[in-house]
Amino acid sequence: MKLEKNIIPEILHVAMVMDGNGRWANERALARLKGHAKGADRVRHIVRASLDMKVTHLTLFAFSTENWKRPKLEVKTLMQLLISSLKKEMNTLQKNNIQLNAIGNIETLPKKVFDELSHVIEATKMNSRMTLNLALSYGSRDELTHVVKEIGEKIKNNIISPEKIDESVINQHLYTRNLPDVDLLIRTSGEQRLSNFLLWQIAYAELYFTKVF
């Protein structure tokens, strides 16, 4: 389907739950890992389309806190795929003036992944056309738990009083503190659920579910 750009509303922040890689592979009698590789390849097209539509922030749910429970081989392969993609796409990010960012409990990532991710984030930090956010080791409940603990510690140390806590204070402690709220959330594969993704940030977002893997 060709998008008519003159009727596309202004969308600043698009978030996407990239679901269905494993089922795509199963339908073709391929290993699940082949599906993940295909999904990583499709990210290029998603980024390109977002640039064309002048989206300023694109957040992709790449690896959840629950994904750590998957088979060890699958997790290891996903981490290797992430490192490979970061290395391969560095030039594309620079060429297209895209800043890479990560949200989530990224300190739990394997050291090689964390180091490569940090390297690309640092190298692209001055880019300004679009911010590409990878949600890695991310879960919204985990994020909100982290917020409560951090604010609680500040109350304990008399840095902030309970009476001063409002939405803006909570926003300042989220992983997404430097990002605008989500305008459009897309989930692929036909599943119609949020799966613990950006629950605070999508309060006023439009939700779109597609059967496409």
19 is catalytic: yes
Which candidate in 26, 52, 67, 105 is catalytic? 67
How far is residue 55's CA from residue 14's CA, in Å, rounded to a whole number? 7
Helices (H) and strands (E) in the chain, counts: 6, 6
Integer-rounded Cα radius of gyration of the chain = 18
CA distances for 155 relative to 13, 147, 165, 167, 197, angstroms: 32, 12, 10, 16, 27
How far is residue 73's CA from residue 165's CA, in Å, rounded to a whole number? 43
Other C-beta atoms closer than 10 Å to the C-beta of 58 total 22
Pairing relation of β-strands 130-138 and 98-103? Answer: parallel
Known catalytic residues?
Answer: 19, 67
